[in-house]
Structure 1
Amino acid sequence: MTSSAERMRAWAVPALLSYGFRPFFLGAGLWATLSMVIWITMLGGLDPLPIAMAPVEWHAHAFLFGFLGAVMAGFMLTAVPNWTGRLPITGWPLAGLVALWGLGRVAMAVSGHLPMGMVAVAELSMPAVLALVIAREIVAGRNWRNLVILVLLAVFALGDGLFLWEAAQHGYAQGGVGLRLGLAAAVMMIGIIGGRIVPSFTRNWLAAQGAAAMPAAPMQVFDRIALAGLLLALAAWTAAPEHVLTGMLLLVAGALHLIRLARWRGHATLAEPLVTVLHVGYCFVPLGALGMGAEILLPGTLGMAAAQHLWMAGAVGLMSMAVMTRAALGHTGRALHASGGIATLYGALILSVAARVLAGAWPGEVWLLHLSAAGWIGAWGGFVAIYWPILTRPRLARKAPSGARPAA
């Protein structure tokens, strides 16, 4: 029998298909850029796609379920082998998953020429197969601790299906239960996974700098209380998005997660944007909860669409960018350091979110929407330009220590 190391060395697949993060992160970046360009043309009164739903419905779906679906797939297919100790999915099976995701994008783009049932099958095939793959890996590796991530993936896919059903019924899908369920699953996943990686990566970096004070260890009692509060608030918002109690629960959850974030010493990481951006991205979780809670209790504070973008573009968009830029560097043998170009991506994305929120507060200032779109396209188009060679070329060989002889 061959060892895992021997099997890994025997892989004979293109670099792009050697790990899940490579094709899915690249696809996510390309789709984030292209879908925003398409959305701008739609806002300009053009009909570039034969879609079967309102343009704003397509826009909401393209970002939440299209873009984030690829990010989730890339992250899970990379993280699960680390969690379970099993080999990653590579080669043709990985290519098949990517093809299913692409099939969903095409089906949504030409949905006006297809039965909605066929569109739904094409769109939901990737998350369904991904869930089966992740379930197999978790069970085989007896990694029961991460079953919650599989549950959240299933809830996310259910939200996708409900969104499509609501769109087919002409039921205002961009404000329906399907979108809220999908977004709630995404925010909860950020709360759980972010609560592990943000303090851990921060601790690693601070320790390397010789710092004395360290962030609070992940998943302590307070973290569990904060996550329970977030889960309750998200459940209430999914079921009753305009209820006063929902607004109050969102405010409480936002306050708890601001405290949680403060315990991770993000202010001490300003010298390394690759770490700092994790804190900024996570900050949009409590900011979104506070903004939406305030809008429910005091309508007109920001506008619900603007407040929701604190989660949609802020928490989801920036945390995706933070995880993708870091994971791609680390898993391809590069130094965990944000170059000036990478730091600029973060700035452009933060500008995009800020402009979109301000556009809700000042609805007459249309230029803010254009600025937001430009920042988004610049951030994700820049990601593709910088990370294309990183994601498509083989992993860099580790340098031998000074004075050491190279291995045979």
Structure 2
Amino acid sequence: MKRFLFLLAAVCSFGASSGQTPAKTDPAVLKQFMDMRFGMFIHWGPVALRGTEIGWSRGNQVETADYDNLYREFNPVLFNADEWVKIAKDAGMKYLTITARHHDGFCLWPSAFTEYDIASTPYKKDIVGALAKACRQQGIKFCIYYTILDWHHPDYPIHSPKTKVIDPKSDMKAYVAFMKNQLKELITNYDPYMLWFDGQWEQPWTDEMGRDLYAYLKQLKPSVITNNRLGKEMSGMEVKQIDASRIVGDYDTPEQVVGKMNMETPWESCFTICTQWAWKPNDKMKSLETCLDIISRTAGGNGNLLLNVGPMADGRIEARQAGRLREIGGWLRQNGQAVYGTLGGPWKPVDQYAATRKGDKIYLHVLKPVGNTLSLKALPGRQIRKAALIGGAEVKVETAGEEIRVYLPASAPASPYVIELTLDGNAEQLPVL
């Protein structure tokens, strides 16, 4: 029955956006997204039963036939969408992005266009739907990850992460129609705030296909935000300035690195809280200091952070990961004014510090200071009227010529901590220094 529905819908939907130039996402919508600064990424699926990496371990650590049949025993009876969303909210996260479909092709929602989905597992319940509802109830923006490639689908030309061999029996036209059908299903049923794409780097996918799909999505929901992994132009695992005119989508996506400071093109770095995206037993977890350092340097570069957790096979987010997120939330409850709704700068992030700004305030994030002072470039046309730890004692600051010297308090909290500088004018209008 599902195959019949797919064929019928494919005839109706394929090429629906051909030749059309969609309007870009409203800048006000993108500003709202960037003001949130911090979100939760979740990589999860039947692969959690093996503790290997999602998608990439198929045919590597886990034999393909075994991997493709893990869904038959996937029964996460301890999954609780409300608990997941509360963990995100308590961490200070403002949006949540779930891997509805990763490169292995398995779907965490009951799709009308495939049998390889949550409805075919012993669990059967709609994971995506439950998270969408919980996010709405708790005031978290709900977002969906959906991959371009699918090594499991017969119509996608490449069937393994280890090979670039093109299957002559594949049908890319039918596959794109399948994607459009599923994306329409996701938008219609769950109304995502943002769609996070991935997997566009393989040869069968082209920028032209990406532009066509972007136009199709804008027909379905004009306000939906998409990342730039509909096209080939992206930072990926490099710290580089990309050509914004070549982006297919709305914002750039550095991966496992803090992006390059950019006041023009929106960007969001994604990081794992451990080393692997999907759950792995005893996986090494990042320290609180490292997580906070990433948050400060990301906001200081004018970007967002999407921090990933990998839930266990039974449906729980590991207690130690949840504990680390609560610690991050505690820091943000005290220092959130230096993160949410700010601009990066005016000083570029370095190892010792990062800076954010809002109104007449500059927030100096002290990261790894060397000695008891920080030397900064002077602020053109602005003077510092007051300097103090957020919620704490005043800090001595001197300006001499082209240099500002900040004397760090001997009794300062553990790094990172934030010094609030109040100026005699607007900080947001300052150039990047």
Q: TM-score, normalised by structure 2?
A: 0.25
More helix by share: 1
Q: Which has the higher strand share?
A: 2
Larger radius of gyration: 2
